[in-house]
Structure 1
Amino acid sequence: MSQIHPEGQPATGEQFTLSRGDSHAVVAALAGGLRSFTVEGVQLVETYPDDSIAPSAAGILLAPWPNRVADARWTLGGEVQQLDITEPSRGHASHGLLRNTAYGLVRQTPECVILQAAIHPQHGWPFHLLHRVSYCLDGAGLRVRQELVNLSSRSAPAAFGAHPFLRLGDTPTEDLELTVQASARLETDDRLIPTGEVPVDGGHDLRRGRRVGEMLTDTAYTRLTAEQGEYRHVLRAPDGRSLTLWTDQAFPYVHVFVTDRFPGRARAVAIEPMTAPANALNSGEGLLWLDPGAAVGGEWGIRPGRSTRFP
């Protein structure tokens, strides 16, 4: 149900609460962000106070592109398009056009919520799109579906993603092991713009798992190996518990961001499913073009592993 706080609305706007048995989630209107997901009282995503917006983009949705656009500039039909710079430290446009937009409610049940937000023509973006998302609790965990619809009268570029930070309760994130079944990563320049695809090697190879405490990284992976039609990115705790960020094959890229700057955490890890990598508006990699009225979508979710604490 939608929740209004008597002491004043949170900085991220209206809050939508979901419940199914021992599973509970909170989704914020601002950026359609996932603020909380618990199973049997165990917190599985990084959260933040009501008077704060999402630190490090924690839990927000990314559309109509994920990650960065170099110099906030791209070319359409031979004309340079200048987006607003939203990452001043590097001079890029980052994480799409809905980071500061409140999503509106379409429909809600106790277990699911559907939200949507319009992407209107603006600086460097002459298109009208709709981003719709559903968050649903099911027997396996949390399932998310994102969809972009082209409301313009001409073809429009489209890509999307999400920015969840994962955790396993009170286990220090630096003690978790991260496994990503990817055989390639994207090299970048010193401003984190991709320069090419290379095989994973050394500390970048996460196929056999690596302790998060050994990592400080901002790296996109691709050439993912699917299992039963899903890409699965797994965090494991020393006590045997695990957590999987899964996606369907609409998300052939995953960005791994490990930071020591998340408030109150020695390490925090974001596992970001993406339909296209950084700078796709310039490179064309993974970028889709939607005809007027056409839509594209994909699903991802968070699934706790089976153990004595996750039945």
Structure 2
Amino acid sequence: MRRFTRRAALATAAGATTAAALAGHATAQPSGSGGAGGRQTANGRLYEIRSGRQRATIAGVSATLLSWQVDGVEMLLTHPADEVGEGYQGKTILPWPNRIDHGRYTFGGEELQVAINEPKRDAALHGLMSFVEWQPVRHRADGVVLEYLLPPDYGYPFRLAFRIEYAVDDSGVRSTLSAMNVGDGAAPFGTANHTYLAAGGDRIDGIVFELPADAYYVVNDRLIPTGTAPVEGTEYDYQSPRRIGPTEMDTAFTGLRRGSDGNAVVRFARPDGVTAELWVDRTHGYLQVYTDDSPSTDRPARAGITVEPMTCAPNAFVTGDGLITLRPGETHRGTWGYRIAG
């Protein structure tokens, strides 16, 4: 069984080589507004993009959606760029979202072990790329493209090239991620984003929430799924709009209902009169809702809510539930975004 070592961790952290070039694509030089980004911060370089009344700031570390403003009003639960932040705020989660139970999984007949970074639950949480800096490919007034090459690791011996584009238009902000297997063998893969929408008041309890999901994941005391159950009639039933109220969630959902465009839409009618929507394309078949009940800093509890677009279920590396297998040369592409309704 391969195990994670400090040497492997250092190799991963050093892996910010130009992904597109290694994937056989020429790399464009940063151009347009902002060049290669703003000043260096605790979250890497900052890339500001804007269109009309929409403005967003992307941080290079973890390709983080650090800020989304509409008419100058911050829509996200965010943190200063010179602070690391907590709770994975805004981060792009790769190459797996959520947890791997005991950090151990089997792929291609080989048992593999990744680092346990959530000791109290004996789990490997949120992948390998939450604290690495992506490199700029292109930066224009209304969009930025970043990339990162993830080298093989003892616990994840696969080579993937990632490219992400953030863009704003008159309606909102969107993110498109491409993941290409540039290695010699098949690779397991999943992704999520961990952006928190601000409460629009003191607490999220007053948000009128609509979540188009038919089922939720039942979990054990370590938040590892043991099965699914219908949401109908439970505290997790937000199929029709209603206030979040005191309900606490660190809960995954599936069975998403979609519109004619193939997208599923989550709605947040905030107490300040703003209605925001999170939309996810068909590549995102799962949503993880976290009501931020126990922040680890002095930040007030329930000041924001994250609904994480996920391509697979929690513990998918063990169960295979929604797991994507990328063959050599194969590319996965998925898009999600936030917008203002109305």
Q: TM-score, normalised by structure 2?
A: 0.85
Q: Is the 8 A contact 1:63 1:131 kept in 2?
A: no
* Aligned partner of 2:340 among 295, 304, 309: 304
Partner Cα distance (1:174, 1:3) in 2: 37
Partner Cα distance (1:165, 1:239) in 2: 17
SS at match of 2:87: helix
**Cα displacement (A) at 1:139:** 2.2
> 1:235 maps to which residue?
268
**Cα displacement (A) at 1:170:** 4.8
**Cα displacement (A) at 1:210:** 3.7
Cα offsets for 1:209-262 (capped at 9, x unmatched): 343341221001100100232100111123542100101111010110011334
Q: Is the 8 A contact 2:107 2:188 kept in 1?
A: no
**2:192 is equivalent to residue 161 of structure 1:** yes
**2:122 is equivalent to residue 91 of structure 1:** yes
SS at match of 1:57: coil
Cα offsets for 1:175-232 (capped at 9, x unmatched): 2122101110111111111111111132111112343341221001100100232100
Q: Which amino acid aligns with 1:244?
A: E
Superposition pairs of residues 55-70 of structure 1, within 5 angstroms: 55-70=86-101
Partner Cα distance (2:214, 2:307) in 1: 16
Q: Which amino acid aligns with 2:42?
A: A
SS at match of 2:179: strand
Partner Cα distance (1:278, 1:197) in 2: 12
Partner Cα distance (1:170, 1:110) in 2: 31
Partner Cα distance (2:153, 2:258) in 1: 38
Q: Which amino acid aligns with 2:224?
A: I
Q: Which deviates more from structure 2 when the two are superposed, residues 264-273 or residues 149-158?
A: 264-273
* Aligned partner of 2:164 among 127, 133, 136: 133
> 1:107 maps to which residue?
138
> 1:4 maps to which residue?
38
Cα offsets for 1:12-61 (capped at 9, x unmatched): 11111111112110111111111100010121111102332131001000
* Aligned partner of 1:225 among 224, 240, 257: 257
Partner Cα distance (2:141, 2:127) in 1: 30
Partner Cα distance (2:225, 2:200) in 1: 34
Partner Cα distance (1:54, 1:293) in 2: 35
> 1:122 maps to which residue?
153
Q: Is the 8 A contact 1:73 1:80 kept in 2?
A: yes
Partner Cα distance (2:178, 2:221) in 1: 32
Q: Is the 8 A contact 1:221 1:253 kept in 2?
A: yes
Partner Cα distance (1:42, 1:92) in 2: 37
Q: Which amino acid aligns with 2:291?
A: V
Q: Is the 8 A contact 1:171 1:237 kept in 2?
A: no
**Cα displacement (A) at 1:90:** 1.1
* Identical counterparts, % of pairs: 34
> 1:211 maps to which residue?
243
Q: Which amino acid aligns with 2:174?
A: R
> 1:259 maps to which residue?
292
Q: Which deviates more from structure 2 when the two are superposed, residues 244-253 or residues 197-206?
A: 197-206
**Cα displacement (A) at 1:11:** 0.8
**Cα displacement (A) at 1:171:** 6.1
Q: Which amino acid aligns with 2:165?
A: S
SS at match of 1:55: coil
Q: Which amino acid aligns with 2:71?
A: E
Q: Which amino acid aligns with 1:4?
A: G
Partner Cα distance (2:192, 2:204) in 1: 23
**2:321 is equivalent to residue 285 of structure 1:** yes
> 2:281 maps to which residue?
248
Q: TM-score, normalised by structure 1?
A: 0.93
> 1:269 maps to which residue?
305
SS at match of 1:146: strand
Q: Which deviates more from structure 2 when the two are superposed, residues 211-220 or residues 99-108?
A: 211-220
Partner Cα distance (1:239, 1:39) in 2: 13
**Cα displacement (A) at 1:122:** 0.9
Q: Which deviates more from structure 2 when the two are superposed, residues 206-215 or residues 132-141?
A: 206-215
Partner Cα distance (1:50, 1:172) in 2: 23
- Report the number of matched residues: 303
Q: Which amino acid aligns with 1:251?
A: H
Partner Cα distance (1:84, 1:246) in 2: 32
Q: Is the 8 A contact 2:54 2:171 kept in 1?
A: no
SS at match of 2:235: helix
Q: Which amino acid aligns with 1:297?
A: R
| Structure 1: runs of 5 or more not aligned | 307-311
Q: Which deviates more from structure 2 when the two are superposed, residues 48-57 or residues 214-223?
A: 48-57
Cα offsets for 1:132-164 (capped at 9, x unmatched): 111000122111101110011111112111111
